[in-house]
């Protein structure tokens, strides 16, 4: 709803060529800055050294993958990441109403935050049924407000949503295990019986939710299980876009500096998608419209070496899938960590 109001108001008062930059990119840039400060604040509250939180702050501000996918590309996954992390942090602080509203807003902006719902549910059930029911009530009311109210008050038509509700169930490719579709069939469509794999994430999340059965103990465990659930969702989807990884980037960064994950996990989360984006020509297309000649040159080069490009891209995805499942298992297993305050800088 908020994004819709920004788009509507901005579109009416500024020329079209500035609409994209102001209405979309400014909120994204603001979210990036907010993420950097929130990550540093979370680490400060956890008792890490000041220099460690400052390194995390710098990492979030100047990470090339984050800048390419958000500020340059204009994708608003960093907005979803900010709302999600903020919600989890406040939940860990004992708050209830505001975290529910924030998570509902994150999900309404982009459904990639959906796997966080069962994580929060398990976390709250282990503490109080009454608080769990209250959270669910606030969350559901907020979802109605953010997802239904704009269509009523702004007169939007939901026809497009109803017509394309299954869009992400009928295509495959990107960073997913179905990336070979473009290589073999030069298409992203899940033709024939392949449509079944578009629903693979549903039973996969069911198994992951069952794995949460022992419960979630403390804020660190809440972050770990959040990363695990989101990754299970991502790794079992038939389609995964590079910007979607932004959602777990701050979570993995925090867990790495808390010594809950290996530094290699953090590197895998941003380096592999960045390399994939280069061979997927996503980065080349970012030169439009400021440097169209450069973009044309890179795209022509990609076409000339297309077989090699697709082969390298597929190899990167294989490494990403292996790294992703390694992180999932790391988040689910118990890990002996140093005493609070003694973290890797």
Q: What digits encode the pLDDT tens for the residues 63-97? A: 999 999 998 888 999 999 999 999 999 999 999 99
Number of domains in the chain: 1
Q: Is the pLDDT of residue 129 over 70?
A: yes
Residue 236's domain comprises: 2-156+165-332
pLDDT (mean) for 151-172:
81
In a domain, 231, yes or no: yes
Q: Is residue 343 in a domain?
A: no
Tokens representing residue 213 in the block: 């059965």
Distance CA 182, CA 167 (A): 17
pLDDT at 3 over 70: no
Assess if residue 181 is contained within a domain. yes
* C-alpha angle 296-299-301 in degrees, rounded to nearest 5: 110
The mean pLDDT of 6-14, rounded to a whole number, is 41
On whether residue 269 sits in a domain, the answer given is yes
Residue 342 lies in a domain: no
Per-residue tokens: 78: 């960093």
Give yes or no for residue 60 having a pLDDT over 50. yes
pTM metric for this prediction: 0.89
pLDDT at 282: 86
Is position 24 within any domain?
A: yes
Pair of tokens at residue 21: 């930059």
Taking residues 43-55, what's their average pLDDT? 95
Instruction: Look at residue 156 and tell me whether its pLDDT is greater than 90.
Output: no
* Confidence label for 340 from pLDDT (cuts 50, 70 and 90): very low
Span 276-300, average pLDDT? 83
> How far is 80 from 70, CA to CA, in rounded Å?
11
Report whether pLDDT(178) > 70: yes
Write out the two tokens for 123.
């976390």
Residue 182: inside a domain:
yes
- The pair of structure tokens assigned to 312 is 């390298």
Residue scoring higher pLDDT (289 or 316): 316
For residue 11, pLDDT over 90 is answered with no
Does any domain span residue 338?
Answer: no
Strand ranges for 146-189 from DSSP E: 173-174
């Amino acid at each position: 709803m908020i994004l819709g109001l920004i788009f509507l108001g901005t579109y009416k008062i500024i020329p079209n060529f500035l609409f994209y930059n102001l209405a979309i990119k400014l909120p994204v840039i603001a979210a990036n800055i907010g993420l950097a400060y929130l990550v540093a604040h979370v680490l400060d509250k956890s008792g890490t050294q000041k220099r460690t939180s400052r390194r995390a702050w710098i990492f979030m501000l100047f990470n090339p993958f984050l800048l390419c996918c958000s500020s340059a590309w204009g994708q608003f996954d960093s907005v979803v990441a900010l709302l999600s992390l903020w919600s989890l942090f406040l939940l860990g602080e004992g708050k209830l109403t505001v975290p529910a509203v924030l998570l509902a807003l994150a999900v309404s902006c982009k459904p990639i935050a959906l796997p966080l719902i069962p994580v929060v549910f398990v976390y709250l059930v282990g503490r109080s049924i009454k608080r769990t029911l209250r959270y669910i009530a606030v969350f559901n009311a907020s979802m109605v407000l953010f997802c239904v109210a704009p269509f009523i008050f702004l007169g939007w038509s939901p026809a497009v949503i109803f017509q394309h509700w299954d869009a992400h169930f009928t295509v495959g490719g990107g960073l997913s295990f179905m990336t070979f579709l473009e290589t073999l069939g030069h298409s992203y469509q899940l033709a024939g019986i392949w449509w079944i794999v578009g629903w693979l994430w549903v039973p996969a999340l069911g198994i992951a939710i069952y794995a949460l059965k022992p419960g979630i103990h403390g804020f660190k465990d809440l972050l770990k299980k959040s990363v695990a659930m989101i990754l299970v969702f991502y790794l079992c989807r038939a389609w995964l876009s590079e910007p979607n990884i932004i959602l777990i980037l701050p979570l993995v960064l925090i867990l790495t500096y808390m010594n809950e994950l290996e530094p290699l996990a953090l590197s895998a989360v941003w380096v592999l998608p960045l390399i994939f984006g280069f061979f997927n020509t996503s980065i080349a297309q970012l030169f439009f419209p400021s440097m169209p000649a450069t973009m044309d040159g890179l795209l022509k080069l990609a076409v000339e070496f297309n077989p090699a490009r697709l082969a390298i891209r597929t190899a990167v995805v294989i490494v990403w899938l292996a790294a992703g499942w390694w992180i999932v298992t790391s988040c689910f297993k118990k890990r002996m960590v140093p005493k609070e305050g003694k973290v890797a800088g």
